[in-house]
Amino acid sequence: MKIVYADNNATTRVAPEVVDAMLPYFTEYYGNPSSMHTFGGQVAKALDTARQQVSGLIGSDPAEIVFTSCGTESDNAAIWGILRSNPRKRHIVTTRVEHPAVYNLGKYLAQSGYHVTELGVDSYGMLDLNELTDAVREDTAIVSIMHANNETGVIFPIEEIGHIVKSKGSILHTDAVQAVGKIPMNLSKSTIDLLTLSGHKLHAPKGVGALFVRKGITFTPFIVGGHQEKNRRGGHRERPFDYWSWQGM
């Protein structure tokens, strides 16, 4: 019996072209990209290329891309990074319909002494922007609202949300895992400060993610270790996004 897979919103099959692009970095070019020798340096160059490709997909500067292990890590890194950079601000605004990577983190933060405001949605799954406006306070460290809902498919007006957040002097993070590659983006002209994306939604392997961090945003690393990712995320990664180039993204 032939299996018909119709759950690409959950995850996608790794494309054959992706596998071909990745294989050399498992078997031939396996050097440490942080090494000073040429063998590792060629991997570092591939990482630079990958960063350019991801930035091209979302319209950002390559220096604003931080490679991570998945969307969940990117979400956590964004929120924790801002909270730790602004310890006096103890308030977070999010929604009741976020992915568990954000929603459950909000629950954890609430139990840890932070004040978390969860915005509701109407019968169409849409936010009330007046409620958002009233929710953002002087002590709001970050507003985390998804771009496209993974269950309902509702697309939130993220740029309008961003203008509200900016007018209140806060920072906007959006989980755009379900939006990147489906909705055109140009973050160079956006109100978004931090954006989460994940490779396995776009025919890349699981265990690959990225976080956009706008230049000028004070951001404390979530994973502390080496100097990788411009000191924003410790841990070696080898050419994680170069396989997207086959799609012309």
Domain at 210, CATH number: 3.40.640.10
In a domain, 247, yes or no: no
In a domain, 77, yes or no: yes
Q: Range of 70's domain?
A: 58-232
Q: What one-character-per-residue DSSP string does the chain give?
A: -------TTT--PPPHHHHHHHTHHHHT----TTSSSHHHHHHHHHHHHHHHHHHHHHT--GGGEEEESSHHHHHHHHHHHHHHH-TT--EEEEETT--HHHHHHHHHHHHTT-EEEEE-B-TTS-B-HHHHHHH--TTEEEEE--SB-TTT-PBP-HHHHHHHHHHTT--EEEE-TTTTTTS---GGG-S-SEEEEEGGGGTS-SS-EEEEE-TT-----SS-SSSHHHHTS-S---SSSGGGGGGT-
In a domain, 116, yes or no: yes
In a domain, 28, yes or no: no
The tens place of each residue's pLDDT in the chain, 249 residues long, gives 899 999 999 999 999 998 998 899 889 988 777 777 887 778 778 888 888 999 999 999 999 999 998 999 999 999 999 999 999 999 999 999 999 999 999 999 999 999 999 999 999 999 999 999 999 999 999 999 999 999 999 999 999 999 999 999 999 999 999 999 999 999 999 999 999 999 999 999 998 999 999 999 988 876 666 555 555 665 655 444 443 443 433
This prediction has a pTM of 0.89
Give pLDDT, residue 219.
Answer: 83
Give pLDDT, residue 229.
Answer: 55
Give pLDDT, residue 176.
Answer: 98
In a domain, 176, yes or no: yes
In a domain, 153, yes or no: yes
In a domain, 44, yes or no: no
Looking at the structure of the chain, the number of domains it has is 1
Give pLDDT, residue 226.
Answer: 53
